[in-house]
Homo-oligomer: A and B are copies of this chain.
Amino acid sequence: MRYLPLTADDRAAMLGRIGAPSVDDLFRDVPAAARLSGPVEGLPLHMSEMEVERALSAMARKNLTATHVPFFLGCGAYKHHVPASVDHLIQRGEFLTSYTPYQPEIAQGTLQYLFEFQTQVARLTGMDVANASMYDGSTACVEAIFMARRVTRRAKALLSAGLHPHYVSVAKTLTHFTDDEVVASVPVLNEGAPGDDIAALIAAIDDETSCVVVQNPNLFGHVADLSELAARCHEKGALLIAVVTEAVAFGAVRSPGAMGADIVVGEGQSIGGGLSFGGPYLGLFACNHKHVRQMPGRLCGETVDAEGRRGFVLTLSTREQHIRREKATSNICTNSGLISLAFTIHMSLLGEKGLRDLAALNHARAVQVAERLAAIPGVDLLNGPFFNEFTLRLSVEARPAIRRMADAGVLGGVALGRLYPGEASLANGVVVAVTETQTDEDIDRLVAAYEEAVSC
């Protein structure tokens, strides 16, 4: 019981002061039928640190890990190299074991990095302001849809077919209960612009439309100019919500803000975060000044203390549930604090130069890999423009091919069949992501794996 400081003597002395005959007596309000007389049955007893370590390490060893094999998966989660100092700093007890900064006098450490984070995200997205983070990209996305309803007082959201299908699922789940209407369609692997449906979206915007949600680069890696779409949205009184799932793209691709987006949401895991089997991740959320009071989530703002020194506080909290109860903008009461800290530190280390260089390196290596794969007979590269991710059409069904590669120790991409299980038109498609982390040898093994996959 290494985490419990009370000794038997302590417990006896404390019961004495309380005036209770036993600890059991303190639980006397529990209905007798629900009182357990001993440890819950069917569960093991306490273990030493070494035993826990052995048991969990044994589970961990059963997984094929990205650092140990050629690894080319993306589709909303990316492997990048994170400097060792990031993990060192976020493990400082003062960050790790601190609470939500509701007591600003003793939480300036957290509040100041949140202010730095908000500013970084605002600049990256090309927007005025960002919040202190959301759970992940998918929940940020649906919160943006709800925000658009609050702003426009309309309830119809058009979702691009290039939006991550899990994000579509999450939006559908929640809007089902809020009576919003969500319009989404199955993507088409257009040659040169897979998943692109911007022209169709432009055509579909009507006076009921609260927002158009478009991912850029989209799930298939396609990079589009959103300016015309933005203009059309604004003409019709709708908001353009841009989604970015690969934050490194901010270092190479024109920002959503510069293309006219009204809300930018995204997944920030690429910077500072790990793959971690899908969580915890980092929802990014940015908009312009005029909509800030409709924004969900926590916000950190600058102010002064009683001696006039600059300081930071959580602010505009009248939007939040712990104050507003049933009138809150959303029910969210946690952000991704420590993950946003990792993002902030990694982004501070990169700086503008580092982020641009990193993005350039990702893009250049992705172009190299795409060209090598495209040269394989039976493999077609579908993308025109892309950043660090692109879609291939194989001469064979992709999902079993990807599984076989994994069995052979190569994680070769995400088969579209995994994400769109019912869609025969997408079954031969696979999305390949390339970052700075693959070695030349990894790439050789990837190419060989694809050669084998399409030859059988």
Contact = CB atoms under 8 A, between A and B. Distances in A.
A116 interface: no
A81 B50 contact: yes
A50 B437 contact: yes
A50 B92 contact: no
A16 interface: no
Interface in A65-116: 81, 83-84, 88, 91-93
B88 A50 contact: no
Contact of A81 (B49, B84, B88, B349): B49
A110 to B, nearest CB: 18
A436 B50 contact: yes
B49 A83 contact: yes
Contacts of A48: 81
A356 to B, nearest CB: 16
A249 to B, nearest CB: 20
A439 interface: yes
A81 B25 CA distance: 39
Interface of A is mostly: loop
A439 B92 CA distance: 33
- The count of identical subunits is 2
A81 B93 CA distance: 23
Contact of A88 (B49, B84, B91, B439): B91
A54 interface: yes
Interface in A414-456: 436-437, 439
A385 B50 CA distance: 28
A175 to B, nearest CB: 42
A135 B221 CA distance: 57
Contact of A84 (B49, B93, B349, B439): B49
A357 to B, nearest CB: 10
Contacts of A91: 88, 91
Contacts of A93: 92
Contacts of A92: 92-93
A92 B150 CA distance: 46
A186 B247 CA distance: 67
A58 to B, nearest CB: 11
A36 B91 CA distance: 43
Interface in A9-66: 48-50, 54
Given A91-B88, A92-B92, A439 B54 contact: yes
A84 B57 CA distance: 14
A264 B267 CA distance: 59
**Most B CB atoms within 10 A — which of A48, A50, A93, A349?**
A50
A84 B81 CA distance: 24
Contacts of A2: 83, 349
A57 to B, nearest CB: 9
Contacts of A81: 48-50
A81 B51 CA distance: 10
Contacts of A84: 49
A84 B437 CA distance: 29
A83 B48 CA distance: 10
A443 B439 CA distance: 40
Interface string A257-280: 000000000000000000000000
Interface string A344-368: 0000010000000000000000000
A308 B202 CA distance: 77
14 contacts: A2-B83, A2-B349, A48-B81, A49-B81, A49-B83, A49-B84, A50-B81, A50-B436, A50-B437, A54-B439, A88-B91, A91-B91, A92-B92, A92-B93
